[in-house]
Amino acid sequence: MDYWFSLKKLLSIYLNPVTVTLELLFLGVFLIGFASRRPRKAPGPRMAKWRAFLGDLGLFMVVLGILSLFLSTIDPVAHALTLYLERQNPPLEERDGSPVVPKEPVAIVVLAGGQLSVPGKPVLSSLTRHGFARVVGAVDFWKHFSTAKLVMTGHPEETAAMRAVAERLGVPAQMIVEETESRDTKDHPQKLKSILGKDPFLLVTSATHMPRAAALFRAAGYDPVLAPVDFLIWPEPGVYDPYQPGYLIPRPSNLTLTASALHEIGGLAWSRWKGETDGAGDSD
């Protein structure tokens, strides 16, 4: 059993603001309730101070939980965290509607972003939003470089769903290659060596995920052409809903942005701590 992998997945849960907020609120309310409970006999001075401390600590945790939730749902925080990741790798430059690359790619590698395939679900609904956006972006690149192989990498269920979507969007089955042994971003560069070799290729993933993916691929000896897709905020925050004005108005969509950005920032920090990257994902 890979204990580091399990620990990483466990820690990633606590980078979710919903998890942090609910646990802070739960523990805070519990401590307040414990401190305010009337004991059967009068407590001594030391116990009274201890109960008062626990009550104050519980109140602090409740306030911290509410503040954390509020900050996670407002535009300045959610957009800043997302833009911090997206601005590190801008979209590929285009000329006359075609992406500009230093060399014609032999492969277009698209990283899995999760799948939702269950019996009866439509093909174009079989991927998560991020996964679907990555495949659509990769197919668009493939239409400009149609001699390149479209390489899907991830769990077998993910790559099968990705293949189905790509084929539905017009990519011939014989142009699609599946790599099905990768469990997470760290595995992709290692598992793809036999497929990619030294050939030039495009690396396609969500813009927020690209800093971590690029750092891991470069640390593994690759020199990919970075082709991020699925931009959410770049090049700058905009007004996406004129019916909900106000930078400090909490929005559920911002909670998703914050959680995703914290997941990527935490993942990159973990990779650096484990020595899996050399800091190649830093912005200038």
Whole-model pTM: value is 0.88
The domain boundary residue, chosen from 52, 72, 92: 72
Task: Check whether residue 87 and residue 194 sit in a common domain.
Answer: yes
Q: What is d(CA 72, CA 68) in angstroms, rounded to the nearest whole number?
A: 6
- With respect to residue 260, please indicate whether it lies within any of the assigned structural domains: yes
- With respect to residue 281, please indicate whether it lies within any of the assigned structural domains: no
* Number of domains the chain contains: 2
Task: Check whether residue 56 and residue 189 sit in a common domain.
Answer: no
Name the residue among 24, 8, 3 with its Cα closest to residue 71: 24
Task: Check whether residue 106 and residue 219 sit in a common domain.
Answer: yes
Query: 7 Cβ partners below 8 Å, 6+ apart?
Result: none
Task: Check whether residue 33 and residue 88 sit in a common domain.
Answer: no
Task: Check whether residue 89 and residue 226 sit in a common domain.
Answer: yes
Q: What is the CATH number of the domain that holds 257?
A: 3.40.50.620
Is residue 23 helix, strand or coil?
A: helix
- With respect to residue 195, please indicate whether it lies within any of the assigned structural domains: yes
Say if residue 47 is exposed, middle or buried (CB neighbours under 10 Å; 0-12, 13-18, 19+). exposed
Q: What is the DSSP string of 31-64?
A: HHHHHHSPPSSPPPHHHHHHHHHHHHHHHHHHHH
- With respect to residue 63, please indicate whether it lies within any of the assigned structural domains: yes
Task: Check whether residue 45 and residue 80 sit in a common domain.
Answer: no
Task: Check whether residue 254 and residue 146 sit in a common domain.
Answer: yes
Task: Check whether residue 218 and residue 202 sit in a common domain.
Answer: yes
Please name every residue paired with 150 in a beta bridge, in sequence order, or none if there are none.
108, 176
The domain boundary residue, chosen from 29, 46, 72: 72
Q: What is d(CA 58, CA 265) in angstroms, rounded to the nearest whole number?
A: 29
Q: What is d(CA 9, CA 19) in angstroms, rounded to the nearest whole number?
A: 14
- With respect to residue 239, please indicate whether it lies within any of the assigned structural domains: no
The tokens for 12 are 């990633």
The domain boundary residue, chosen from 72, 104, 133: 72
Say if residue 165 is exposed, middle or buried (CB neighbours under 10 Å; 0-12, 13-18, 19+). buried
Task: Check whether residue 82 and residue 157 sit in a common domain.
Answer: yes
Name the residue among 168, 60, 158, 143 with its Cα closest to residue 110: 158
Task: Check whether residue 24 and residue 147 sit in a common domain.
Answer: no
pLDDT for 116-146, tens place per residue?
A: 878 889 999 999 999 999 999 999 999 999 9
Task: Check whether residue 21 and residue 101 sit in a common domain.
Answer: no
Name the residue among 25, 60, 227, 58 with its Cα closest to residue 136: 227
Q: What is d(CA 253, CA 235) in angstroms, rounded to the nearest whole number?
A: 18
- With respect to residue 196, please indicate whether it lies within any of the assigned structural domains: yes
The tokens for 175 are 């142009």
Residue pair 159/153 in contact (Cβ under 8 Å)? The answer is yes
Q: What is d(CA 106, CA 200) in angstroms, rounded to the nearest whole number?
A: 6
Residue pair 259/250 in contact (Cβ under 8 Å)? The answer is no
Task: Check whether residue 254 and residue 153 sit in a common domain.
Answer: yes
What pLDDT is stored for residue 42 in this prediction?
72
Q: What is the span of the domain harbouring residue 44? A: 3-72
- With respect to residue 238, please indicate whether it lies within any of the assigned structural domains: no
Q: What is d(CA 272, CA 281) in angstroms, rounded to the nearest whole number?
A: 10
Where are any strands of DSSP class E within the chain? 94-95, 98-99, 107-111, 149-153, 176-179, 201-204, 225-226
pLDDT-flagged residues of the chain (< 70): 1-2, 4-5, 239-245, 279-284
What pLDDT is stored for residue 113 in this prediction?
94
- With respect to residue 242, please indicate whether it lies within any of the assigned structural domains: no
Say if residue 83 is exposed, middle or buried (CB neighbours under 10 Å; 0-12, 13-18, 19+). buried
